[in-house]
Amino acid sequence: MIGPNYFRRGAMALLTPEGRNFIHENMPSIARRSGSEPDISDSVKNGHPIAEVVLGKHSLVNRGITTASDIGTYPIRTIDAVHNMTTAIGAYQRELAKLGIDPDTYATTPVVPDALNKAMAIARRTVASTLPEDMPQVLSRGKFMSGKSGNISSMKTLFHFGNTYLDIFSVIAHDFAGGSVKAIRGRDLNAAPFLGALGLAIAASVIWETGIRFYGRELINQESGKKQSKDEKTFNEELEHELLKRFPFMGNAMSAKYNRSGVPVMDAIITASSNAYKLAHGTGQYGVPKTEAGKEKTFERNRFETGVSIATLLGIPATSIASRLARPTATGQTGKREGSGLPTVDMPTPYR
């Protein structure tokens, strides 16, 4: 939003004691902002709610989960915090330049309140935050499609782990779509470069995250020796899902194709209950096996999936990745898979 020149200026300024002091003294709220989800942030501060009820707030397991969550999310929180502070300083320098003030003197000249407020407003649009004043009102006040506040718990459940995507949707709806309409109506050609760059950034983020998810899954499957399944998403299907997740309720609708609600906490409870039932009754994919070998294999699979479900409910970090690596061996799904090591196929495109 501030251009590469002032982003570079902000990054260089943040490396100096003067830059960091300027942020902490004049933009304390920016210094406290970092990306994450409210549920993860609450878990790091207060412990996982289910683990707390089942095991106790001060239990060794609950404290271990809290510590692991803190360590696991530290890198991404730090990256987002640095990005946010860099944008804030760069935006402030840009506003000073517009007023005819040398931007390099930002730390020594008297603070310009209007420029500071504009810089903080820009910074708040760059990274999703778990601070109450930054979160979408549907999460902070339970406000959804009406002028009145609603039930916060219900909205948090419905939009579980949705803070980041709601923030992205806000950028798409207000900054990109709304800005485009305003520019067209006002015939403002000066807005074209910014809107074009913003559109490219949105598209690039979708493709980037799709690539990470798709090729990460392929790498895990190949290294673990998991058999190929006809139910695995293609790159284009993953791309479609990743794009639609940026629009409220569309991700839930896509999840329905895979017999899921799209609400993580509900899906976790339903999956855990289903796996526990299968374990208790010895039920496999096609009912109760008739042979002893089949029953033993089904028991091992159900026991593993039930353990994964419980770990997911307790909020144990890295459960998803660890289960993907262990599942083929634990459930007897190992077999020859096309290719080995890193994926060597060409990057597919939506038009191929």
**Domain definitions of the chain by residue range:** 1-134, 135-260, 263-334
Contact assessment for residue 212 and residue 222, using Cβ atoms and an 8 Å cutoff? no
Instruction: Report the chain's terminal Cα–Cα distance, integer Å.
Output: 33
Read out DSSP for 181-200? HHHHHHT-GGGHHHHHHHHH
Tell me what pLDDT residue 341 has: 42
pTM, two decimal places: 0.63
Q: How far apart are CA 162 and CA 248, in angstroms?
A: 9
Mapped onto helix, strand or coil, the DSSP state of residue 287 is strand
Tell me what pLDDT residue 80 has: 82
Tell me what pLDDT residue 234 has: 82
Q: How far apart are CA 169 and CA 138, in angstroms?
A: 13
Q: How far apart are CA 271 and CA 305, in angstroms?
A: 9
Mapped onto helix, strand or coil, the DSSP state of residue 94 is helix
Contact assessment for residue 72 and residue 322, using Cβ atoms and an 8 Å cutoff? no
pLDDT per residue of the chain (352 residues) written in tens, 0 to 9:
677 888 888 899 888 999 899 988 888 888 777 766 666 666 656 656 666 666 666 667 667 767 776 776 777 778 888 888 898 899 999 999 988 989 888 888 888 889 999 888 888 877 777 777 777 767 666 666 555 666 666 776 677 777 777 788 888 888 888 888 888 888 888 888 878 888 888 888 889 888 888 887 788 777 666 666 666 778 888 888 888 888 887 777 777 776 777 777 777 888 888 888 888 888 877 777 878 888 888 888 888 888 888 887 776 666 777 777 777 776 666 554 444 444 433 434 433 3
Tell me what pLDDT residue 317 has: 65
